[in-house]
Amino acid sequence: MVRIVAKGISKVFKRGRVVALDNVSVIIENGERFGILGPSGAGKTTFMRIVAGLDVPSSGELYFDDRLVASNGRLIVPPEDRKIGMVFQTWALYPNLTAFENIAFPLTNMRMSKDEIRRRVEEVAKILDIHHVLNHYPRELSGGQQQRVALARALVKDPSLLLLDEPFSNLDARMRDSARALVKEVQSRLGVTLLIVSHDPADIFAIADRVGVLVKGRLVQVGRPEEVYEKPVSVQVASLIGEINELEGKVTNEGVVVGSFKFPISVQSDKIVIGIRPEDVKLSRDVVRDDGWVLVGKGRVKVVGYQGGLFRITVSPLNSEEEIVTYSDHPMSAGDEVLVYVRKDKIKIFEV
Ligand code: ADP
Ligand code: MG
């Protein structure tokens, strides 16, 4: 286990024309599962590479516990001395090596005796329940076993830190679920500090205790996943971490008005955007008597789709082109007039 401290890390490429990381400061605690969420090009891989020691920060400092490992363009501790295991996008195994040889691969450059290598490979193979297939070639393994071998290879050096860069993006949906569960289970068994970066919030929700949101090289919010989901600092963060409806509202004395909708909230600023997640909207033909839900007005159903056992419904105020998407288990038809309710305490207000 190790505690990672990044202090004001910036990274520029092309003589400063590309700023990949902009003054990133974060502490990843001992044994923590930390996720970095960000769109493509945000700087996630750059941060990973700096933590791994494959690249150096242009400015700022990186500590592993109290040890300075890189500082202002200087590599102080090289990757091989950082006790890191890595899994990248592909989970690719060497097809011409057995599972055993694949797992042992990181140890072969380490001047380690054959016995010691065998002991280590068998130990990690037991933990991952693949000790009975160590003589198999990758093509003789199931998808799940291949994942386990790739993970075993990352863990065989007994790392203090496990780095995962978009590890699930090339897996199909079912494999992705099992791989997420596997990573989480193995992490908690070994207690290793874990850093995962992904553009997919589902990866972060499945694994991380805390998440940092990276946008254009800046860490704009850090918190527990549900905190970031419920209280995003900006519309952009809100939409990165889950689907959200954005409505441009007119601020009045009685609330925020969007066409025929009126949101009964008071706001200070006069230029705002309302954010409301699909699950915090309810459409009904009849009046809903439930204190949690407030009526914002009448709307007209625009589009109805069917998705995963639910109807995905787009509704607009009667006299405006703004749209709200929500899900319902009742079918509705385009053109229907409905009452639109929202969960009052879930309305998000962003100043723009
Ligand atoms: P992510 O992993 O979040 O998609 P990256 O860290 O790969 O983002 O890239 C962040 C930014 O830095 C991008 O604009 C990318 O083009 C740029 N970048 C990354 N590596 C290099 C490099 N070696 N040379 C020049 N630009 C780079
Ligand atoms: Mg990347």
Say what the pLDDT of residue 237 is.
Answer: 96
Asked if residue 169 has its Cβ within 6 Å of ligand 1, the reply is no
Segments of the chain scoring below 50 in pLDDT: none
Say what the pLDDT of residue 314 is.
Answer: 97
Residue identified by tokens 């599972």 is: 99
Q: How far is the CA of 214 from the centre of ligand 2 (A)?
A: 12
Dump pLDDT digits (tens) for 336-349. Answer: 999 999 999 999 99
Dump pLDDT digits (tens) for 14-52. Answer: 999 999 999 999 999 999 999 999 999 999 999 999 999
Q: Is domain 243-351 in CATH 3.30.428.10, yes or no?
A: no
CA distance 343 to 324: 14
* Alpha carbon 271 to its chain's center: 30
Residues of the chain within CATH 3.40.50.300 domain(s) are 4-239
Residues of the chain within CATH 2.40.50.140 domain(s) are 243-351
* Residue whose CA lies nearest to ligand 1 atom number 22: 13
Instruction: Please choose from 46, 213, 219 the residue to mutate so as to test ligand 1's pocket, defined by most ligand atoms within 8 A of CB.
Output: 46
Q: Is domain 4-239 in CATH 3.40.50.720, yes or no?
A: no
Asked if residue 44 has its Cβ within 6 Å of ligand 1, the reply is yes
Dump pLDDT digits (tens) for 293-338. Answer: 999 999 999 999 998 889 999 999 998 899 999 999 988 999 999 9
CA distance 287 to 295: 9
Number of the ligand closest to the Cα of 10: 1
Say what the pLDDT of residue 268 is.
Answer: 85
Say what the pLDDT of residue 211 is.
Answer: 98
Q: What one-letter code names the amino acid at 75? A: L
Q: How far is the CA of 43 from the centre of ligand 1 (A)?
A: 6
Q: Which residues contact 4 (CB under 8 A, 6 or more apart)?
A: 26, 27, 28, 51, 62, 63, 64, 161, 193, 195
